[in-house]
Amino acid sequence: MTKGLAYQRALGANPYKLGFVGGTDNHNGAPSDVVESNYSGSHGAADRSVKDRREGEIDGWVKGAESNPGSLTGVWATKNTRGAIYDAMAARETFATSGTRIKPRFFAGAALSATKDPAALVKEGYAGGVAMGGTLSKLKAPPSFTFHAMKDPDGANLDRLQIVKGWVDPSGEPQERIINVAWSGERQRDGTGKLPAVWNTVDLKTATFTNAIGATELIGHWTDDQFDANQPALYYVRVLEIPTPRWTKYDAVKNGLPLLDSVPAVIQERAWTSPIWYTP
């Protein structure tokens, strides 16, 4: 996505100015096969059974076990109609998730306030700024960003919310900065902005977790302290859940088999908003 800024500089147009979407890539006729606890595989018989996957392990790689459930696309539309949804997609007011149903919102403007009221945040975001998928232009002062994310009602609590900034350096190479802007618990960032990992409640023996940690929603405000009014840039939000069991762990527990040595037992589901671009 950031590479598009280099094309913008060289060609005068950004071919990667796109909204984020997600979906499945499977051959089993299950387009909504995105739940870790009930994943049936992505390529039918090629995935093979749990027993076959364990017996077929070769050099740390198991056919089928490297795949993951599909992702989902979220759209912020004015109403639930085909036309309104298409309009929102054309405006790039979309987000993608790894299969969870996190709901993130993201706005940018010249002077958005640090409200903690989600309804006011959305109203001000539209009135005084742009939503995800939009473009800010010719600012004299650093832009401000507001964000709000709600957990999957049936899923895990939220660990943290990050803003990812992308730009192109003078040599044309894409650069990235990841900023932790909101998080659960009493953790504190260190001098480099790094945030300690959230606690892990996953029970590997039973493939279960609890929502005793994490937050049900994260909301906040951030201003880019390294803003260069003459430098094109993009910003997007990434939201992480607390750790939960991966489908391979659910699969192993259901079948009374040990976990494959070559695959992780725990994951952190997440969501990504479409970027907001800044153009001088």
Can you give the residue ranges of every domain in the chain? 3-279
**Predicted pLDDT of residue 83:** 97
**Cα–Cα distances in angstroms (integers) from residue 181 to residues 3, 46, 132, 156, in the given order:** 24, 42, 17, 20
Highest mean pLDDT among 10-14, 38-42, 56-60, 196-200: 196-200
Find residue 221's DSSP bridge partners: 146
Q: Which single residue is written with the structure tokens 């998730």?
A: 97
pLDDT given for residue 241 in this prediction: 98
Phi, psi (rounded to 5 degrees) for 41: 105, 165
Q: How far apart (Å, rounded) are the C-alpha atoms in residues 73 and 75?
A: 7
The per-residue pLDDT for range 55-108, each reduced to its tens digit, is: 544 443 445 567 788 899 999 999 999 999 999 999 999 999 999 999 999 999
Share of the chain above pLDDT 70, in %: 89
Full-model pTM: 0.91
Q: Are strands 135-137 and 276-279 parallel, antiparallel or unpaired?
A: parallel
| Per-residue model confidence as pLDDT tens digits over 139-155 | 999 999 999 999 999 99
